[in-house]
């Protein structure tokens, strides 16, 4: 069994309209929510062994803050192909991972992450910014992951539920 943690990037800023979408930073709420997700992962004993993230600034910053606050000691891999990707592109990236990683955190964007979650679990779930889904996958090797894989949604946390 593998565990896939699917995290939509935290809230980004629209304050500089001249910035390319890829380069938008996190806003104040995003900088608050991302560390909370990291703390949640630590508390739930779900610290990832590997983080796979889009190269977009908001996704990368989310991944870095989550890594720091969860105590993750594994690598952070950035992949340009995950920016503005559909569900299939996420599946392809995950299928290339080394099998030594049992628990992986994927940080990316909608609608691709919602498509991925629906393909793996058979039901649509809304993923607002900084939402985290825990999916149990009945596979031993990442290369066996496909849109036919019947995973189970174990938990879903939305940032509003985590606020003080």
Q: What is the DSSP string of 57-76?
A: HHHHHHHHHHHHHHT--S-E
Q: What CATH architecture is 2-10+26-162?
A: 3-Layer(aba) Sandwich (3.40)
- State residue 98 phi and psi, 5-degree precision: -65, 145
| Domain-wise residue ranges, the chain | 2-10+26-162
Give the strand pairing for 50-54 and 76-79.
Answer: parallel
Rg of the chain on CA atoms, in Å: 14
pTM for this prediction: 0.96
Give the separation between CA 147 and CA 72, rounded to whole angstroms.
Answer: 28
Q: Angle at which helices 28-43 and 57-70 pack, to 10 degrees?
A: 40
| pLDDT tens track, the chain, 164 positions | 999 999 999 999 988 888 898 999 999 999 999 999 999 999 999 999 999 999 999 999 999 999 999 999 999 999 999 999 999 999 999 999 999 999 999 999 999 999 999 999 999 999 999 999 999 999 999 999 998 999 999 999 998 887 65
């Amino acid at each position: 069994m593998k565990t896939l943690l699917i995290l939509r990037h935290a809230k980004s800023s629209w304050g500089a309209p001249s910035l390319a979408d890829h380069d938008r930073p996190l806003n104040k709420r995003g900088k608050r929510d991302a560390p909370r997700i990291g703390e949640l992962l630590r508390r739930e004993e779900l610290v990832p062994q590997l983080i796979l993230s889009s190269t977009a600034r908001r996704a990368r910053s989310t991944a870095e803050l989550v890594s720091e606050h969860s105590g993750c000691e594994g690598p952070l891999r950035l992949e340009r192909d995950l920016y503005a990707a559909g569900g299939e592109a996420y599946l392809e990236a995950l299928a290339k991972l080394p099998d030594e990683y049992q628990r992986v955190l994927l940080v990316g964007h909608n609608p691709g992450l919602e498509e991925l979650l629906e393909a793996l679990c058979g039901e649509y779930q809304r993923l607002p910014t900084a939402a985290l889904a825990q999916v149990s996958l009945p596979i031993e090797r990442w290369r066996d992951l496909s849109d036919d894989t019947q995973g189970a949604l174990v938990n879903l946390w939305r940032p509003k539920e985590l606020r003080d």
